Amino acid sequence: MTAPLPDATPTGASPTVVPIDLGDRSYDILIGAGLLDQSSTWAGLPRARTALIVTNDLVAPLYLERLTRQLSTHYANVESVVLPDGEQHKSWESLDRVIDHLLAGAADRKTVLYALGGGVIGDLTGFAAAIYMRGVPFVQVPTTLLAQVDSSVGGKTAINHPRGKNMVGAFYQPMRVVADLDTLDTLPDRELSAGLAEIIKYGPIADVAFLDWIEAHLDALLARDKSALAYAVKRSCEIKAWVVGQDERESGLRAILNFGHTFGHAIETGLGYGAWLHGEGVGCGMVLASELSARLGLVPAGFVDRMTRLLERARLPVKAPRMPIERWLELMRVDKKNEGGEIRFVVIEGLGRAGMRGAPDAMVAEVIAAHTERQP
């Protein structure tokens, strides 16, 4: 049975701490401004001789030196691997570079990995930590809004396969998540919007009051108001903690976090990784999943308009790209949620409550057609 979602807690002194309660795999999410440069942020983590920071060539010039300086007071040896930026590099090749660096250098089974970057770096580094010597500790240092509200939390780690998103990976929890809100200052607007998609997701699946709050504070979020961002990151993490605490390995409830993702992953894979951002695919995917929920008679048609308006205001695409329906279905058949060959969609079963349903191909085709870009 699903436990009731705890009420939102007030955003108090920095850092705000959101605990993830998973028995001996429990850890804290620290949320606040200026965390990167505070020595207390890094205290109490596992001791080791070597720390390896994994980052990319866009984030490294911004934050690598500062993190290296902090970690140098805790580890004799702080190394880094700088990967090329981009979703297309969440790949076997990048993973191999990290593993090769670990094997070639001074790393041992106590070495701590630090993921400095967005969800691509976080997912890949977590997977490297899960498989190197059968598992070494790792810390998430998410620097995108999307990674702070979603991907750094909950222990899903993966790389992509050309046939499907996140198809090779492991459940592996970090030791800590450090979400420094100041790192969002350098985030491009398009990436901020991509993060807003995952924040918006939490409202319809779990917390109507949060959906109302997002609608009321969207302009402040777009303007990067720090207190609005602090609340949005904290409430998103609280909701994710509530879900993951009950279903770490997605045997049921956790699938609701994939609202919009079945359609969104198909867009990402179909257009080639990197063409649409993950959050853009999720944004548009939520319009399609809302439409499907309405056609299945679960929510009124007005809900589709409400979601579409909010996503448009968040500067996210609400029209799907043109792809033959056979291609959509082929792509959506490669999805971890599917069972017995049937595509399973996360649908809204009533505001603040989500579930899983199959749907006839013809209905799915109508849903997509109703929200596809017209021919130019």
3 state SS of 344: coil
Say which residues have a Cβ less than 8 Å from residue 219's Cβ, sequence separation at least 6. none
Least distance in angstroms from the C-beta of 81 to ligand NAD: 14
Phi, psi dihedrals of residue 115, rounded to the nearest 5° = -95, 110
**Burial letters for 194-213: b for 16+ Cβ neighbours within 10 Å, e otherwise?**
bbbbbbbbbbbbbbeebbeb
Binding flag, residue 146, ligand NAD (CB under 6 A): yes
Task: Specify the residue, 90 or 344, whose C-beta has the smaller distance to ligand NAD.
Answer: 90
**How far is 368 from 76, CA to CA, in rounded Å?**
55
Phi, psi dihedrals of residue 44, rounded to the nearest 5° = 80, 10
Out of 183, 193, 236, 308, name the contact with ligand NAD by CB under 6 A.
Answer: 183
Tell me which of ligand NAD, ligand GLY, none is bound by residue 90, counting a contact when its beta carbon lies within the kind-specific cut-off of 5 to 8 angstroms. ligand NAD
**How far is 4 from 74, CA to CA, in rounded Å?**
40
- Is residue 48 a contact partner of residue 111, using CB atoms and an 8 Å limit? yes
What character string, x for contact with ligand NAD (CB under 6 A) and - otherwise, covers 50-89? ------x-xx--x----------------------x-x--
Least distance in angstroms from the C-beta of 256 to ligand GLY: 9
Burial of 42 (0-12, 13-18, 19+ CB in 10 A): buried
**How far is 291 from 279, CA to CA, in rounded Å?**
18
Find the part of the chain contacting ligand NAD (CB under 6 A) among 146-154, 214-222, 247-255, 326-334. Answer: 146-154
Tell me which of ligand NAD, ligand GLY, none is bound by residue 254, counting a contact when its beta carbon lies within the kind-specific cut-off of 5 to 8 angstroms. ligand GLY
Token pair for 64: 């690598």
Which residue has its beta carbon closest to ligand NAD?
119
The DSSP annotation for 8-76 comes to: PPP--SSSEEEEE--GGG-EEEEEETTGGG-GGGGTTSPP-SEEEEEEETTTIIIIIHHHHHHHTTT-S
Binding flag, residue 143, ligand NAD (CB under 6 A): yes
Task: Specify the residue, 102 or 288, whose C-beta has the smaller distance to ligand GLY.
Answer: 288
Least distance in angstroms from the C-beta of 119 to ligand NAD: 2
Least distance in angstroms from the C-beta of 153 to ligand GLY: 7
Angle, CA 268 vertex, CA 266 and CA 271 arms, to 5°: 95
Tell me which of ligand NAD, ligand GLY, none is bound by residue 258, counting a contact when its beta carbon lies within the kind-specific cut-off of 5 to 8 angstroms. ligand GLY
Least distance in angstroms from the C-beta of 169 to ligand NAD: 8
Phi, psi dihedrals of residue 292, rounded to the nearest 5° = -65, -40
Tell me which of ligand NAD, ligand GLY, none is bound by residue 279, counting a contact when its beta carbon lies within the kind-specific cut-off of 5 to 8 angstroms. ligand NAD
- Catalytic machinery residues: 134, 156, 198, 240, 250, 254, 258, 261, 265, 278
What character string, x for contact with ligand NAD (CB under 6 A) and - otherwise, covers 5-34? ------------------------------
**Burial letters for 222-240: b for 16+ Cβ neighbours within 10 Å, e otherwise?**
beeeeebbbbbbbbbbbbb
Binding residues for ligand GLY, per CB under 6 A? 150, 154, 156, 254, 257-258
Binding flag, residue 180, ligand NAD (CB under 6 A): no
Biggest alpha carbon distance in the chain? 61
Tell me which of ligand GLY, ligand NAD, none is bound by residue 118, counting a contact when its beta carbon lies within the kind-specific cut-off of 5 to 8 angstroms. ligand NAD
- Is residue 351 a contact partner of residue 204, using CB atoms and an 8 Å limit? yes
Task: Specify the residue, 42 or 127, whose C-beta has the smaller distance to ligand GLY.
Answer: 127
Burial of 163 (0-12, 13-18, 19+ CB in 10 A): exposed
Task: Specify the residue, 34 or 300, whose C-beta has the smaller distance to ligand NAD.
Answer: 34
What character string, x for contact with ligand NAD (CB under 6 A) and - otherwise, covers 232-271? ----------------------------------------
The residues binding ligand NAD (CB under 6 A) are 56, 58-59, 62, 85, 87, 90, 117-121, 123, 143-144, 146-147, 150-151, 154, 156, 165-166, 183, 186-187, 191, 194, 277-279
